[in-house]
Amino acid sequence: MERVLEGRCALVTGSTSGIGLGIALLYAQAGARVMLNGFGRPQDIARARAEVGAAQGGGEAPYSDADIADPAAVRRMVAEAEATLGRVDILVNNAGIQHVSPVEEFPEAKWDAILAVNLSSNFHAIKAALPGMKARNWGRIVNIASAHGLVASPYKTAYVAAKHGVVGLTKAVALEVARTPITCNAICPGFVRTPLAEAQVKPLAEKHGVSEEAALTDYLLEKQPSKRWVEVEEVARMALYLCGPDSGAVNGAALSIDGGWLAA
């Protein structure tokens, strides 16, 4: 593929699996040096580091085990990325967690954790990475929000609040950097095919007494008119475009990739 990110350095949070790993792999294939971050089984992290490292030309990709719910850990992660890679040209805030519960039963600790991981970590990472981008007069910030950053669903109060906050944060940062060669955008995916998402299908089928195919189209993807998953690679390609040579005028956008969800 065309190496449109040759010489760039990227930090991608939540990149040991799922969407984050897909973005990290594509960035590496496009020529960037990438630092990974996230939790998981040691063997899965090692596999992710090897895959991204191979895409970069060999060796293991650098990795930070920072708990991004901790502001100090986020600052250390950005500093470590700058020291290891030489700089952070591209910041992708992808890590996220979820909990589903009626609002009156929603555990307060879950609310605090979801806001910390899904929203506040974005702020702390941007605050830490932006001075270097300004000093070098170039940067790309990509925040992975959600369709739930633009519309709501019941029982997901913390997630919806956090992702709406991510979209607002994106717009505010974009205005602050609008007269520089730095951009800040959000990607708002619908239901993406990841192992965690696919694991929801069988329990839904059993709950409703239907086939797994019906559970997918009629329940899990109920709001997604395409009735198909958004693929990780599709989100990654949008994230690559936002960092490529033709995207400088795209700033402050909340870009839907949701099979028509927001059009309904």
Distance linking the first and last C-alpha atoms of the chain: 35
Helices (H), 8-156: 18-29, 42-56, 71-85, 108-115, 121-136
Give dist(CA 81, CA 83) in Å, integer: 5
Give dist(CA 26, CA 8) in Å, integer: 13
**The token pair that represents 140 in the structure block:** 């790309």
Annotated catalytic sites, by residue? Answer: 159
Which DSSP string corresponds to 70-94?
Answer: SHHHHHHHHHHHHHHHS--SEEEE-
Spatial contact of 170 and 186, defined as CB atoms under 8 Å apart: yes
**95 φψ region: left (φ > 0), alpha (ψ -120 to 50), beta (else):** beta
Residue length of the chain: 264
**86 φψ region: left (φ > 0), alpha (ψ -120 to 50), beta (else):** left
